[in-house]
C-alpha cells in the first residue's frame, strides 16, 4: 500500500503536471469515537503526522494523495456509566488516502489576486490497524485473543472528508490547516462491538490472560461481572477517527504560463 502511494508521488513529481503539483507534510492531533468513547475525550488525544502530494487540476479542484499515521485510544475509566466494564485500548493506524478538494475561492499557481481559500474534501482511504490492551505491564494484540469470538483483519477502508483553509505565502510555499473525519466500515478499531462470549470457555481457550482481556471486570473485581450474551458493545455504529492538523506545502515548479486574473 505504501509503495503504491510513493509511486504515485514520484509519478506526479516527474510528470508534465509538475508545475501544478505540490508536496507537503502535515502534523497535528487525532482522536476517536466508538464503543469506548461515546463522546470524544480530550485526554485521549494523540499526535498524528503525514505526507501528501497535491495536483491542482484547475483553480477550483485539486487531487491529493496522502500517507498518514494516527494513534487512537479509549478507556471506560473516562465514563462513570462504563467503569464496571473496565475496557481500554490503543491502536496505531497507517492510512493511505486519495481525496478530491473543492476550493471555495479561485486558488492555485496561476491565480495572483487570491492568496487564501477555504476548501472541502472527500475521498477514499485504506488503513492497517492492530488494537492492543495493556495488562500487568504488557501490551497484548487483542485480535489474537478473539475477545468476542469474532475474527477480523488488520486492513480496513475509510471515507475521509472535512474542511480546511489554504494560504499562499509566496510563489513556492503555502500553509494550510485541516479538520478531517474518517467514517470507517469496521466496529473493531477498539476491539469492542457485540456481546460477551462464555467466560468459562475463555479460561479454557486462552487461559487467564484471554479471559481477562475479554472481560476486564475480572481485573477490577476478581470475578467476571458479565455472562455469555451480555452486551459488550454496540454493533449498530462503526468506529470513527478524526484529526486537526497544520501543513506546509512546496510547489515543485514556479515557472510556467503567465498568471491569470479572474
| Residue-wise pLDDT tens digits, 68-98 | 999 999 999 999 999 999 999 999 999 999 9
Number of CB atoms found within 10 A of residue 51's CB: 17
SS3 for 217?
A: helix
Cell of 195: 456481546
- The answer to whether position 52 is within a domain reads yes
| Residue-wise pLDDT tens digits, 35-47 | 999 999 999 999 9
- The answer to whether position 223 is within a domain reads no
State mean pLDDT over 235-257: 87
| Residue-wise pLDDT tens digits, 137-171 | 999 999 999 999 999 999 999 999 999 999 998 88
| Residue-wise pLDDT tens digits, 111-120 | 555 688 999 9
Cell of 121: 474534501
- The answer to whether position 8 is within a domain reads yes
Burial class (CB in 10 A: 0-12, 13-18, 19+), 4: exposed
- The answer to whether position 259 is within a domain reads no
Q: What is the mean pLDDT of the chain?
A: 89
When divided into structural domains, the chain yields a total of 1
The CA-atom distances, in angstroms, between 41 and each of 34, 38, 44, 164 are 11, 9, 6, 22
Residue 98's pLDDT is what?
A: 97
Residue 46's pLDDT is what?
A: 98
- The answer to whether position 260 is within a domain reads no
- The answer to whether position 200 is within a domain reads no
pLDDT above 90 as % of the chain: 75
* pTM for this prediction: 0.87
State mean pLDDT over 185-192: 97
- The answer to whether position 208 is within a domain reads no
Whichever domain contains 127, its CATH number is 2.40.160.20
- The answer to whether position 138 is within a domain reads yes
User: Domain range holding 182?
Assistant: 2-19+28-194+240-251
Amino acid at each position: 500500500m505504501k509503495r503504491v502511494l510513493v509511486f504515485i508521488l514520484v509519478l506526479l513529481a516527474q510528470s508534465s503536471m509538475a508545475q501544478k503539483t505540490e508536496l507537503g507534510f502535515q502534523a497535528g492531533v487525532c482522536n476517536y469515537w466508538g464503543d469506548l468513547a461515546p463522546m470524544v475525550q480530550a485526554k485521549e488525544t494523540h499526535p498524528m503526522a503525514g505526507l501528501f502530494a497535491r495536483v491542482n487540476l484547475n483553480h477550483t479542484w485539486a487531487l491529493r494523495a496522502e500517507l498518514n499515521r494516527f494513534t487512537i485510544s479509549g478507556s471506560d475509566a473516562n465514563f462513570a456509566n462504563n467503569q464496571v466494564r473496565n475496557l481500554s485500548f490503543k491502536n496505531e493506524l497507517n492510512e493511505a488516502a486519495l481525496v478530491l478538494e473543492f476550493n471555495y475561492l479561485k486558488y492555485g499557481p496561476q491565480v495572483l489576486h487570491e492568496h487564501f481559500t477555504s476548501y472541502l474534501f472527500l475521498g477514499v482511504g485504506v488503513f492497517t490497524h492492530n488494537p492492543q490492551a495493556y495488562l500487568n505491564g504488557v501490551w497484548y494484540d487483542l485480535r489474537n485473543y478473539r475477545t468476542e469470538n469474532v475474527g477480523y483483519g488488520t486492513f480496513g477502508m475509510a471515507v475521509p472528508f472535512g474542511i480546511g483553509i489554504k494560504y499562499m505565502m509566496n510563489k513556492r510555499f503555502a500553509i494550510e490547516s485541516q479538520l478531517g473525519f474518517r467514517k470507517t466500515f469496521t466496529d473493531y478499531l477498539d476491539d469492542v462491538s457485540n456481546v460477551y462470549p462464555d467466560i468459562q470457555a475463555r479460561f479454557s481457550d486462552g487461559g487467564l490472560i484471554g479471559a481477562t482481556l475479554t472481560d476486564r471486570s475480572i481485573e477490577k473485581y476478581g470475578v467476571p461481572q458479565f455472562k455469555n450474551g451480555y452486551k459488550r458493545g454496540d454493533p449498530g455504529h462503526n468506529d470513527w477517527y478524526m484529526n486537526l492538523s497544520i501543513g506546509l506545502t512546496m510547489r515543485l515548479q514556479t515557472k510556467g504560463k503567465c498568471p491569470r486574473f479572474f
